[in-house]
Chains A and B, each alone.
Chain A
Amino acid sequence: MVASAPEKLVGKPIKRREDPRLITGAGVFIDDVRLPGLAHMAVLRSPYAHARIVSINADAARAMPGVLGVFTGEDIKHINPLPCAWQAPGVENKVNTPRLLALDEVHQVGDPVAVVVTESPYQAKDALAAIEVDYEELPAVVGARKATTPGAPQLHENAPSNIVFRWSCGQDADQVDAALAASEVQVRERIGNQQLIPTAIEPRGSIGRYDPGTGEYTLWATSQAPHVHRLLTAAFVLGVPEQKIRVIAPDVGGGFGSKIYLYFDMPLVLWLSEQLGGRPVKFFEDRSENFLHTSHGRGHDSDVAIGATKDGKITALRVDTFANLGGYLSTIAPGTPSTLYGRMVAGCYKIPNIHVGITGVYTNTAMVDAYRGAGRTEASYMIERVVDLVANATGVDPAEVRRLNFVQPEDFPFDNGLGGLPYDSGDYEKALNRALEMVGYEDLRREQAERRENGDRKMLGIGLSSFVEACGLGPSQYMGREGWAAGLWESANVRIHLTGKVVVTTGSLPHGQGHETTFSQLVADELGVPFEDIQVKHSDTQGTPFGYGSYGSRSLAVGGTAIYKSVAKVREKAMQLAAHLLEAAPEDIVYENGGAYVKGSPESGKTIQELAGAAHVGYDLPAGMEPTLEATTFYDPPSFTFPFGTHICVVEVDRDTGDTEVKRYVAVDDVGNVVNPLIVDGQLHGGITQGLGQALYEGVVYAEKGEMLTGSLNDYAIVRASMAPMFELENTVTPTSVNPLGARGVGEAGAIASTPAVANAVIDAVSHLGIRNMDMPLTPERVWRSMAANT
């Protein structure tokens, strides 16, 4: 008998089922993995940003207590460098990827030069100090624009002027230049987007174990994409058959993109374990190493030319961006400034003439790759600064400039002219209007004018940010066309055991997002089984279909859809079995409330648990039906999804000191259908905070010769809870038609929207002094200097 309707869970703010485990210390992170015979690897890193390695003497280190081995680049030069997984058609890409340990030359401070493997981690640090390296220092260059100028120090022979690649999209530059020249209002500006350190709460680590009996390798790693790491380690670096490697990501403490990439230590610990006859070898970076060497984000320096009419309509936009990629290419580094940035620079606006040119550049810094919001953050910052520059130049209110230029609901699907996928749907003005109403925009503008009139020390600033982002990465055919060396579909397996309990296996990988909760809500509703009966498994390549992992706000939109489709397949099979057992025609079977029955007769139906039992024992199946209820789906999304919204930040800036205080933060987001509003709010809180950090506090500073001056959390400021504002959040809901869930994704939206909202607010606060742009982070001194220069 099929029971009455269970409570629907999708849309409910259910507390995360993984939290009790994680917040009581019961999680198992890489540093909690204890293996018998564990040996420890520590890394000797280059103190120079650019130098030739003349000689390395490790004799003394080899003789130290507990040392099992010392290895240099020379010892492993037969191992391939790490791969770069990007090659856009027709683009010359001057690839230089890191070797596991530097050979002959180093290109950044922190470049791994040698490793020691010891019995204890203390001995490893002791032994490092005993290795002598003779370097010949070479000139270094910091700053992407500067690195391309004549006479700049060269990093790699195959990349003249340090240029990795040039890439462009939109109309021809000449055509856009002509439109710019013909525009009533013309504005030129240089807009920066500083280099950032992702600063996941857990740094990176890896443990490698080789099994001499089977010839199999197991890698535990802080990974956002274990299957991808297995593939790259096996096929591109070690040359080991893929099936011989198993990758396990235990609990992962955040990543923000930095754990997508393949790093030197992952193949190295496997190789070292093999050298040591199968003793497991562990590497766990400390925070300083993380800052120096784990991938950074952003790092743009752009020239912008804007054309507009006198009443604020944008007529032309040309953006030329130097994108720092660091000393070498990280796994997918060029993909961010091209696909994810260049093609999204138009934002929410209809811009009739637009051209974006990207120059990817090597400089002597940490590698730069995708970081929360990847590319779209840079794009939304660029276009939202552009819109405010138009407002500033024309005197039209910033809200009105946005309205004037918005893509309208009837324009969808909308092609922004930059060669990307069409925006699916949206109502940008509705979100803007609601945000203006929530914040009390007219009153704030009045108050701002009054304070200016009175010469108040606390100046009021109101910053708007209307954004659209592309997420749910991504349709494989399109990604292939863009040069991404892999499709980005996702897998899901749904299996109902004989007892009626459900196991869901996903290729996406939670590292803070709450997949286990969200996916269970989805399955509970679609299958009508209790939440408690569902287990979501992930993060281990063993026994799971290939999956691409979590990043690009793809877990629900792509991974969730794969689950949804697998559930549908299981349900379909259950209905066929029910028809057979109930001796009814399949078309007369209804599935609801956790069971299947003949239309009109739920009392004589079969529950999904009964059907699972029957499917498992296989005593009485319809002809040709295989036993068990289980289905696997490889879901390849037809397009990106496009979350959008408007965020508004209100700040006070102190005229005497340049200090900024965030007074209010209002956000109206449209992430499509919401599975768990608590998790969505949490993502927005975190994302907004992180983006606010970029606007006000964060930024890597390198000295002239490439030493990092912000090498610790004593110098590099991230936003702490006490520094975060109160969030005033609302949603509009425009389900996407791209996937059956109608979900757009929310992992990055906050970070994409907030940086320009906060920066625009600070600049707005001082705009009456003649300031129209400043570089981030908007530190008190920067703001003070701008004010001093303009008064």
Chain B
Amino acid sequence: MFPSQFDYHRPSSVAEAIQFLQNDPDAKILAGGHSLIPAMKLRLAVPSALVDLSQVDGLRGIAVNGDIRIGAMTTYAQLRDSDALKAAMPLLSEVANNVGDPQVQSRGTLGGSLAHADPAADFTAVVLALGGSVKAVGTGGEREISADDLFVDLFTTSLNPDEVITEVTIPNPAARTGMAYQKRGHPASGYAVVGVAVSVTVGDDGNVSDARIAVTGCTPKATRATAAEQALVGKPLNEASIDAAAKAAPEGLDINGDHYASAEYRAHLVEVDTRRALEAAAKAL
């Protein structure tokens, strides 16, 4: 497990980090490193340089003020342990506690997870279902990218090579919103074989006014299960609508399989886990 030679930079500001990225197109950003470092040791990733964000000011922290703003370098452990977050949106703390193991949670970062866009990551689907967005800063300035536009393909985002995610925003949920994340981890990696994140809002008329459902683990990128969402909107949130949504969930998804779990089985799990996630969300209303 010996990586190739690489340079190492540790900027103290976002501007400095962007400068390093601009000067060296083969440089990679180092956040928690739990995906990148093993890939380098296996020589699957051979960056010319690492730009370590650990000492950049202002990239950590959780601010709850209606919307929730989370610094990109905030670790899963910080999300897991934040009393403010547990009060405002306990789901985020629960999901953080479900990523990897305590060692991973202590190193892994929210921004790193979103930027890496692993097809089996947890927070990609969760942020997508919660209608979140990221703030990206690059040579071209600062812009907000919604999660709907962030994930492009397998390990691919719409970030430019010189852009750094600095912050993640989760909007303040509407009244009567229930949310849940249902995951089954791979017994070896712990990554999602299938994960389904849901956020469902029930309007004054008692019918679902908004539903966002996102799957991970079985598609090239975290993806909205739009057929399931459509099956819910305008209906009361009950056993029948949940069942219809669950059955519709795999529709239109590019579900893939491997030797551990076939595409057919994963499609079945998308149905089962959508049902279970919606049932949990309904209870959390």
Contact = CB atoms under 8 A, between A and B. Distances in A.
Contacts of B272: 656-657
Contact of A709 (B2, B42, B259, B265): B259
Given A709-B259, A715-B260, A125 B2 contact: yes
Given A656-B272, A659-B184, A709-B259, A715 B189 contact: yes
Contacts of A126: 4-5
Contact of B265 (A124, A715, A784): A784
B2 A288 contact: no
B2 A714 contact: no
B261 A781 contact: yes
B175 interface: no
Contacts of B187: 696-697, 717, 723
B269 interface: yes
A122 B2 contact: yes
B188 interface: yes
Nearest to A120: B2
B188 A714 contact: yes
Contacts of A129: 43
B87 interface: no
Interface string B22-55: 0000000000000000000011000000000000
Contact of A125 (B43, B188, B269): B43
B70 to A, nearest CB: 27
Interface string A747-791: 000000000000000000000000000000001110011000000
B19 interface: no
B260 A779 contact: yes
Nearest to A701: B259
Given A288-B42, A709-B259, A779-B260, A122 B5 contact: yes
A714 B2 CA distance: 18
B72 to A, nearest CB: 25
Interface string A653-670: 000110100000000000
B79 to A, nearest CB: 20
Contacts of A287: 1
Nearest to B194: A657
A784 B268 contact: yes
Contacts of A124: 2
Contacts of A716: 188
Interface in B250-283: 258-262, 265, 268-269, 272
Interface in A710-761: 710, 713-718, 722-723
A725 to B, nearest CB: 14
A716 to B, nearest CB: 6
A697 B5 CA distance: 37
A286 B1 contact: yes
B189 A657 contact: no
A395 to B, nearest CB: 32
A121 interface: yes
Interface in B48-83: none
B143 interface: no
Interface string B1-12: 111110000000
A714 B189 contact: yes
B86 interface: no
B188 A657 contact: no
B265 A717 contact: no
A192 to B, nearest CB: 16
Interface in A664-717: 696-697, 701, 709-710, 713-717
Contacts of A696: 187
B180 to A, nearest CB: 17
A722 B97 CA distance: 14
A124 B4 CA distance: 11
Interface in B224-264: 258-262
A717 B188 contact: yes
5 contacts: A124-B2, A656-B272, A657-B272, A717-B187, A723-B187
3 closest cross-chain pairs (CB), A and B:
A717-B187, A717-B188, A714-B189
Interface of B: 1-5, 42-43, 101, 184, 186-189, 191, 258-262, 265, 268-269, 272
Given A714-B188, A780-B265, 6 more contacts: A659-B184, A717-B187, A718-B188, A779-B261, A780-B261, A781-B262
